[in-house]
Structure 1
Amino acid sequence: MKPEDLQRLVTLTMPYGKYQGRLIADLPGAYLAWFARKGFPRGELGNLLSLMLEIDHNGLRGLLEPLRKRQ
């Protein structure tokens, strides 16, 4: 993980699927867990989804709030 990945979580939107257009940081934990079971997409999107799953699973979503305020 690179520090800028955290900023990408609050700026990049989901490009497809049920939650298309929603920020990666706002995706529900159940949706992230579904991706973990089915397999994350390759590349940056998959890396960010995996990172967000870890943040959500460990109850650390609050750490992203200061980054949202920068917007």
Structure 2
Amino acid sequence: DRILADLPISYLEWFQRNGGFPKGKLGMQLATVYEIKLNGLEDLLKTIRNFE
């Protein structure tokens, strides 16, 4: 299984450069993951994964 947080930053940057993320819940989740990775906060994602 894959989760959105596993997507490479280059994939998320492509969306950002080409008109933005899709509308709706998925787009909001992708944008959130992009911002987390862009700002070097990936440790937050590791912490969240430990709760699963």
Q: TM-score scaled by structure 1?
A: 0.65
**What is the correspondence of 1:1-71 to structure 2 with a 5 Å cutoff?**
22-38=2-18, 39-71=20-52
Q: Percent identity?
A: 49
Give the CA RMSD over aligned residues. Answer: 1.2
Aligned residues: 51
Structure 2: runs of 5 or more not aligned: none
| Matching residue's letter, 1:58 | N
Distance 1:55 1:66 in 2: 13
| Matching residue's letter, 1:36 | Q
CA displacement, residues 7-27 of structure 1 (integer Å, 9 cap, x when unaligned): xxxxxxxxxxxxxx5211111
